[in-house]
Chain A
């Protein structure tokens, strides 16, 4: 168990060295959410702390989900996956390593909107809750990215296209641009099934002190989503790995 964890850390270290500055990661993880955010907020009369909370949750969402979908198809194409599969490392350890690299990327980049917010006078009312929420959400979204990367393909663009098709609608139903309370009834129902809703709510609470769900509900929901995503990812990768070798 400890051995496998150490090996997962080695995989994470390798991922950090190779994938952090890859084109698809920078485009889909950093540039894409920034432009999407700007497109929706420019010209709208919204408070700064509301916007920063939304930008932060979107940043965690996109950055944490930008690494994991890139690794598996890239390593399928370069045949590095064969090297990993022949090593004494379980599929869970490989996925854990990829997820750790993704979590660190998500957490690291999410500091940018926080610092931007603080620079323009936004205060973090609940820093510990925010920190815990960011880490929890980064794990949750990284695991979600692993589900997309289980597609047995060597084409990164295919995986990115599938993940974008899911990510886009989630952004609109998760209270980033319109608070959940102001969504129509069907929108509120949909918001319940989006993990992004809960981290957005946690961020709002951390910055503005206002929340739609209780903090405990937000944290529990993120944990439940994480467990579901990770379990599904391990199963799907177990099935797709031999097809990719």
Chain B
């Protein structure tokens, strides 16, 4: 039995965008495979939004090539846009229109037949728990409801690829969970998701592959677990005592590279976590301290992100 060949649905080649001499995106290249959730991460001003705007056809690149399911975005923008759905970072449903009319307007823009559009709108409003408010103007909606509606609007054309720009930003836990569940459900249905997020844990939970962009360049691109392995040599032990201690005392323990405060806990960076734990127990005994909490931690995606951003300046 041979390996299943994955089809590339987003192909980005040497993409560059200059703004008055400032290079926001600098010759980046990557591919997104069909049916995957691809995370696009980066600090503010790294070129993340510019890249997403180019990929969704909002702005034109200075140079480079983008193809969406084989359609060149420069020469066939309408065909490429027809098969994607977009959830922009900022809310932009029409406030003066009802939820229903917003969905029908989307259907009209994407050429969805009337009957199908009505059924689809009903289905999506039910899925996002908005059906009871379908005739209410969007200006009466909460932020969470608006975001759910925008998500529903992006699905009216049943897109093959969904671009989500910070979809859970500023949402309450329940709305954010609903959106995340929806992303996973859509992915199960075979849709490709291009996710931009500031939340590392969200990217870790959802994405099968992530790219980290910094200063307009791709700093790393891989599966989250593989990225974590890059700094797997370094681990840390988190400890909390019943009384405050001097962090510099702990720096003297052998194998400890760095000590940082993390709330009421101390985080000891070490390449020998087992040895560090023994030493912490000895330290607590000799100083008559009680260990309240002791934990060993492996690197998270956030640690990888911070390390990469710090390394590349």
Distance of B71 from chain A, by nearest CB (Å): 11
- Chain B residues touching A, range: 20 to 34
Query: How far apart are A22's CB and chain B's nearest CB, in angstroms?
Result: 9
A14, A86, A89: the one contacting B94 at CB < 8 Å is A14
Residue pair A242, B108 in contact (C-beta under 8 Å): no
Please tell me if the beta carbons of A242 and B109 are within 8 angstroms of each other in the complex: no
Using a CB-CB cutoff of 8 Å, which residues 77-110 of chain A contact chain B?
Answer: 78-80, 82-90
> Contact check: which of A4, A83, A242 meets B60 at CB < 8 Å?
A242
Contact mask B40-56 → A, CB, 8 Å, 1/0?
00000000000001001
Task: Tell me the complex Cα distance, A219–B96, Å.
Answer: 38
| Distance (whole angstroms) from the CB of A23 to the closest CB of chain B | 13
Asked if B126 is an interface residue, CB under 8 A from chain A, the answer is no
B81 at interface, CB cutoff 8 A: yes
Q: Which residues of A contact B96 (CB under 8 A)?
A: 17-18
With contacts A79-B90, A86-B81 taken as known, whether A14 is within 8 angstroms of B105 at the C-beta atoms is yes
Residues of B within 8 A of A10 (CB): 105, 108-109
Name B53's contact: one of A9, A11, A245 (CB within 8 Å). Answer: A245
A6 at the binding interface (Cβ < 8 Å): yes
Report the nearest B residue to A90, measured CB to CB. Answer: B78
Q: Verify B110–A87 contact, CB threshold 8 A.
A: yes
Known: A17-B96, A18-B97. A82 touches B88 (CB 8 A): yes
| B85: nearest chain-A partner, CB-CB | A86
Q: Is the CB of B58 within 8 A of A85?
A: yes
Taking a contact as CB atoms under 8 Å apart, the answer to whether B58 and A86 are in contact is: yes
Cβ-defined contact, A18 with B81, below 8 A = no
Report Cα–Cα, A11/B78, bound state, in Å: 16
Q: Taking the nearest CB of chain B, how far is it from the CB of A78, in angstroms?
A: 7
B64 CB–A CB distance under 8 Å: no
Known: A86-B57, A88-B110; 4 extra A-B contacts, CB below 8 A, are: A82-B88, A83-B93, A87-B81, A88-B79
